[in-house]
Amino acid sequence: MRKRFVFAGVAIAVAIGAGFAIKAGKGAAAMPASAAMAANAPDAAASQVPLDFTAAEAATPVTLALPQTVEFSGALVAPNTAMVRAKATGTLLTLDVQEGQRVKAGELIGRIDISDLQTKVAERTANLAAVRTTMDQAQRTHDSNIGLANEKFISPIALDASKSQLENAKAQVAAAQAALDSARITLRDASLIAPISGIVSKRYVVAGEKVTAEQQVVTIVDLHMLELAGTVGTQEVARLSPGMPVTLKIEGIDKPLEGKLARIAPAAEAGTRSIGVAVQLPNPKETLRAGQYAVAQVQIGDATPRLTVPIGAISSASGQEYVWTVEGGKLLRRTVTTGRRDPVRQRAEVLDGLKPDVPVLGARFDNLREGAKARVVAVATAATPKPLAPVATTTAR
């Protein structure tokens, strides 16, 4: 009986020992498997296999000048615009022009009923004739009194009285003449005359309406010279001067047009940091129209060499701009400070954070990791990542 217990105990001990041995063996085998899994992980593989970038994708920065572009926009206006107004109250008899019709300066475009004005002119003409008769009589009386006074037949007081009457008569004649001139001017202005040559842009009344003095009748626009009125920041206006060439992109027109900077306001607009500017655009063939939207660009030269990279190389995160570089066989993320940008050549100035001889990734790539192995190769390989689609960039600073 006792032997059975001894054998049983030995058997149990052997079994327990075997279990520990098996567990220990399994633990020893798990370590290489874990290491193999780690070696096959993406991050580890990325650290072992270098990423290949072509010379076009990882180029060194270029030093060049970046002309600055000052841009503003607005609607085209015709500065030479005239408003024809009625100068007298009356019935509009005729208005012989339509919207879009061309007129010449001095051309009769309409008439107002001037019966009352003609009567007023006749009345003031008659009044002028009456006061002139009075003046002539006063002149003869005074001349006679001068001779009588020389002969001592009348007193000096009587001579002074006749002189006063003559001066009064002359003043009445002058007043009557002024009143007649005013009536004649009103009569003349009752005829609606085009003050400038141009195109009728709007009619405000029709024939048969009763119009009053200074009421709008038509607007005439001269399109031979147009202007673009816009605003620029106070930090940019110091670089502008009248006469500078301006490139205008106008809606509906494929080809950019050239104008010139005509005027710069002397002060900023109230409550803003903007200065008004005006661009003149010749329009000899009148192909453009007032109201068309336009974008103006003024190129400002730059004589300073600047370190530049492609605009697509610059990314931003948490308010900081950065680029990816290939240095010492590794990818590094460099925080940079940028300056001017040239949207035409797609270059951006780097003020700080980058060395001139360090290759920079000129496009954006997905899943880049700092410290990963990387190199610049002549041609693309299987390890060359594909760049992301480009994103919209901001305009020049």
What would the pLDDT profile of 278-333 be if each residue is shown by its tens digit?
999 999 999 999 999 999 999 887 778 899 999 989 999 888 999 999 999 999 99
What mean pLDDT do residues 237-249 have? 91
Percent of the chain with pLDDT over 70: 83
Q: What is the 3-state secondary structure (H, E, C) of 166-230?
A: HHHHHHHHHHHHHHHHHHHHHHHHCEEECCCCEEEEEECCCCCCEECCCCEEEEEECCCEEEEEE
What is the C-alpha separation between 198 and 41, in angstroms, rounded? 78
C-alpha distances out from residue 49 to 39, 42, 300, 375, 381, Å: 12, 10, 47, 10, 12
Q: Has residue 397 got a pLDDT over 50? A: no
**CA pseudo-torsion sign 96, 99, 101, 105:** positive
pLDDT band at 26 (very low <50, low <70, confident <90, very high): very low
| pLDDT band, very low/low/confident/very high, at 41 (cuts 50, 70, 90) | very low
> What pLDDT does 19 receive?
44
Look at 147-156, 157-166, 289-298, 308-317 and tell me which has the smallest mean pLDDT.
147-156
Check residues 9 and 38 and name the one with the higher pLDDT: 9
pLDDT of 264 > 90? The answer is yes
- Overall average pLDDT of the 178-206 stretch: 88
E strands in 269-377: 274-282, 293-300, 306-310, 315-317, 320-327, 330-342, 347-352, 360-361, 374-377
For residues 57-61, average pLDDT? 89
Question: How high is the pLDDT of residue 255?
Answer: 92
In this structure, what DSSP letter does residue 137 have? H
Q: Is the pLDDT of residue 6 over 90?
A: no
- pLDDT tens-digit readout, 366-383: 788 899 999 888 776 665
pLDDT, position 10: 37
- Has residue 67 got a pLDDT over 70? yes
CATH for 46-67+304-377, among 2.40.420.20, 3.30.70.60, 2.40.50.100, 3.40.50.1360? 2.40.420.20
Which pLDDT does position 96 carry in this prediction? 92
**What CATH number was assigned to the domain covering residues 71-79+223-300?**
2.40.30.170
Q: What pLDDT is attached to residue 380?
A: 67
Closest C-alpha among 106, 133, 324, 110 to residue 208: 110
pLDDT of 28 strictly over 50: no
Q: How far apart are CA 177 and CA 311, in angstroms?
A: 78
Please give the pLDDT value at position 304.
Answer: 83
Q: Give the pLDDT mean for 169-194.
A: 86
CB atoms within 10 A of CB 76: 22
Q: Residue 74: name the closest of 236, 267, 250 by CA.
A: 250
Q: Confidence band (pLDDT; 50, 70, 90) for 77?
A: very high
Domain ranges in the chain?
A: 46-67+304-377, 71-79+223-300, 115-189
More confident residue, 14 or 274: 274
Q: How many residues does the structure list for the chain?
A: 397
Choose the most confident range, by mean pLDDT, from 54-58, 237-241, 292-296.
292-296
Q: Which pLDDT band, with edges at 50, 70 and 90, does 390 fall under?
A: low
Q: Using 50, 70 and 90 to split pLDDT, how confident is the model at 384?
A: low
pLDDT at residue 389, rounded to an integer: 56
Q: Band of the pLDDT at 18, cuts 50, 70, 90?
A: very low
Instruction: Please tell me which residue, 393 or 176, carries the higher pLDDT value.
Output: 176
- pLDDT classification of 234: cutoffs 50, 70, 90: confident
Q: Does domain 115-189 have CATH number 1.10.287?
A: yes
Computed over every residue of the chain, the mean pLDDT equals 82
Residue 277 has pLDDT above 50, yes or no: yes
